[in-house]
Amino acid sequence: MKPIIKLLLEGGSLTTAQLAQVLKLSEADVNRQLEELKEQRVLLGFRPVLNLAHEDSGVVRAVIEVRITPERGGGFNRLAERISRFDEVESCFLMSGGYDLLVFVNGSSLQKVAAFVSEKLASIEGVLSTATHFMLRSYKEQGFMLDVKQEEADRLKVAP
Amino acid sequence: MDSSRYIAKHVVNLPKSGIRDFFEVVAKMKDVISLGIGEPDFDTPWHIREAAIYALEKGKTHYTSNLGLIELRRAISKYVEKTFSIGYRPEDEILVTVGVSEALDIAFRALVNPGDKVMFHQPCYVSYSPSITLVHGTAIPVPTYAKDQFALTAEALRAAWQPGAKLLVLNLPCNPTGGTCDRAQIEAIAKFAVEKDLLVLSDEIYSELTFEGVHTSIASLPGMKERTIYLHGFSKAFAMTGWRIGYACGPAALIEAMMKVHQYSMMCASILSQEAAIEALLRGEDAMKSMRDQYHRRRDFIVRRFNEIGLKCHLPRGSFYAFPDVSGTGLSEKDFAVGLLEAEKVAMVPGTAFGANGSGFCRACFATSYEQLIEASNRIERHVQSLAAKPRTPTGARG
């Protein structure tokens, strides 16, 4: 793994200047490396990890198990990509087991997610069935615990 | 009434740890970036904590065998054999202790007669010399030097040796210097120990955190197992400092002697810590290696920064401590550390807390986040530059 990727994973939210300092590169070099990673589609982007439970965000999330018909030549890919392109779809995975795709969906209300499933997703030719599970509560997102307060550790400031 | 007259003489004469002095100063300040902490910044991996919770739920709240749970001793035996190529019998060659600190203390109590001479290398962990004093032994410090990257050399041992010396304490990789010895150096030390008939107490608590080359335990060398007590624990590699759990391995007769002291004082290590330790040994390797890799990268960063700043710093081959030379600033290590703390709120521990020949150095623990290390190094840089800009004034004088 490239040092810059390791550092992005490990360092949390380091600024470009901080990345440059650790990697002993100029800021311009760091930016160039990040650009390269973007061009190679290794680095897809940055997004904040948020706990929206305390915001009046009105986001409804659901996980949908989707069974689809594989196609000659393309297998599941064409349909999977087609489904992934909807704005409502946050992530989409091909799975082993009892269904084919696991689709993570966001919507501003329960009705909107339901409408997406029944009108858009289920009606695609090749989609055999859907099973929608609404998320009730999130405990951990992207490696962050949500409702566990980061306690000010009572670590000693100096220890042998 | 002056109650202090009841205190035993050798305890009255025991110096207070230099670390504690410094702790008092730092504890009063707010928003300090501390590079003064001798422990991992990671919390214990969750699967280990979870094992302890499960043990508690299952009612594991009782004494264990004095030697420690046999499952733990079996796991230790396998781990030490696999990782460091030393074979110990779980039944009578392994003793589970309350951290390496207890193991060291009971080893001294089991082995040292009043006046017996104990050699150890310095700068070193703060407790060696006082622990020897507490058993009325005579401490013989052996210096290690920056020019050797603080590896212990057989020449230094020979120079410091005195007739009647009985024990040799090793701590490789070393707190506070990060110095360690390669195989050839260890072999030379082993040869010296055999020649002078020394029993070796080898505190190898930082051995997993060896960044260059392979850690060689002196006990793994031919003929050395029978004259070595191997001390190890979980604090550093598995981020388990607060659990206070470690172990001693060695010849059955010596382990039996240590066990006598242990059973009358500690009885046994906490059962919950023992259960957690089993989990660490059986399934903790991935988390441990991930932490080690992160320390490795942080070490490379902070050591490079110290050298850029003008504080000459050797590359510590193990542990999570850098030991930069601050004498170039014209200040003593203590004045430098206090000045840095007051001006920039960064804490490093003055090297003399680890023995007189830590003079001119400070210990910086790099087991902390990148953000903190970056910020600390920038503050140290600013401070060193401001010192260079100021006209020199003699220590203690007001400038």
Q: What is the pLDDT of residues A59-102, one digit of tens each?
A: 899 999 999 999 888 889 999 999 999 999 999 999 999 999 99
Q: Is A24–B37 a contact, with Cβ atoms under 8 angstroms apart? A: no
From A15, which residue of chain B is nearest by alpha-carbon distance? Answer: B371
CB contact under 8 Å between B347 and A158, yes or no, is: yes
pLDDT at A147: 82
3-state secondary structure chain B: CCHHHHCCHHHHCCCCCHHHHHHHHHHCCCCCEECCCCCCCCCCCHHHHHHHHHHHHCCCCCCCCCCCCHHHHHHHHHHHHHHHCCCCCCCCCEEEECHHHHHHHHHHHHHCCCCCEEEEEECCCCCHHHHHHHCCCEEEEEECCHHHCCCCCHHHHHHHCCCCEEEEEEECCCCCCCCCCCHHHHHHHHHHHHHCCCEEEEECCCCCCECCCCCCCHHHCCCCHHHEEEEEECCCCCCCHHHCCEEEECCHHHHHHHHHHHHHHCCCCCHHHHHHHHHHHHHCHHHHHHHHHHHHHHHHHHHHHHHHHCCECCCCCECCEECCECHHHCCCHHHHHHHHHHHHCEECEEHHHHCHHHCCEEEEECCCCHHHHHHHHHHHHHHHHHHHHCCCCCCCCCC
pLDDT in tens, A29-64: 999 999 999 999 999 998 888 888 777 777 899 999
Domain B3-44+286-389 superfamily per CATH: Aspartate Aminotransferase, domain 1 (3.90.1150.10)
- The CATH 3.90.1150.10 portion of chain B extends over 3-44+286-389
Contacts of B126 in chain A (CB under 8 A): 160
Q: What is the CATH number of domain A53-136?
A: 3.30.70.920
| % of chain A at pLDDT higher than 90 | 68
* CB crowding A9-48: b at 16 or more within 10 Å, else e: ebbeebeeebbbbbbebeeeebeebbeebeeeeebeeeee
**B chain contacts of residue A159, beta-carbon cutoff 8 Å:** 19, 23, 36-39
CB pairs under 8 A between A and B: 59
**Model ipTM over 0.85:** no
pLDDT value, residue B394: 54
CA neighbor of B117 nearest in space, from B136, B134, B130: B136
Output the pLDDT for position A151: 65
- The reply to whether A24 touches chain B by the CB within 8 Å rule is yes
Boundaries of every domain in chain A: 3-39, 53-136
Looking at beta carbons, which residues of chain A come within 8 Å of B297? 6-7, 10
* CATH fold for the domain made of B62-283: Aspartate Aminotransferase; domain 2 (3.40.640)
Residue A112 three-state SS: helix
Q: Which region holds residue B286: left if phi is over 0, alpha if psi is between -120 and 50, else beta? A: alpha
Give dist(CA B229, CA B27) in Å, integer: 37
Whether residue B349 and residue A158 make contact (CB cut-off 8 A), yes or no, is yes
Residues of chain B with Cβ-Cβ distance to A10 below 8 Å are 294, 297, 370
In terms of CA atoms, which chain A residue is nearest residue B29?
A157
Quote the pTM value. Answer: 0.90
Beta carbons of A11 and B37 less than 8 Å apart: no
Mean pLDDT by runs of 10 across the 399 residues of chain B is: 93 86 85 93 95 97 97 98 97 98 98 98 96 97 96 97 98 97 97 98 98 95 97 97 98 98 97 98 96 95 97 97 97 96 96 95 96 96 94 52
- Would you state the pLDDT for residue A52? 80
pLDDT, residue A153, reads: 63
Answer whether B360's CB lies under 8 Å from B296's CB.
Answer: no
Q: Exposed/middle/buried for B178, CB within 10 Å: 0-12, 13-18, 19+?
A: buried
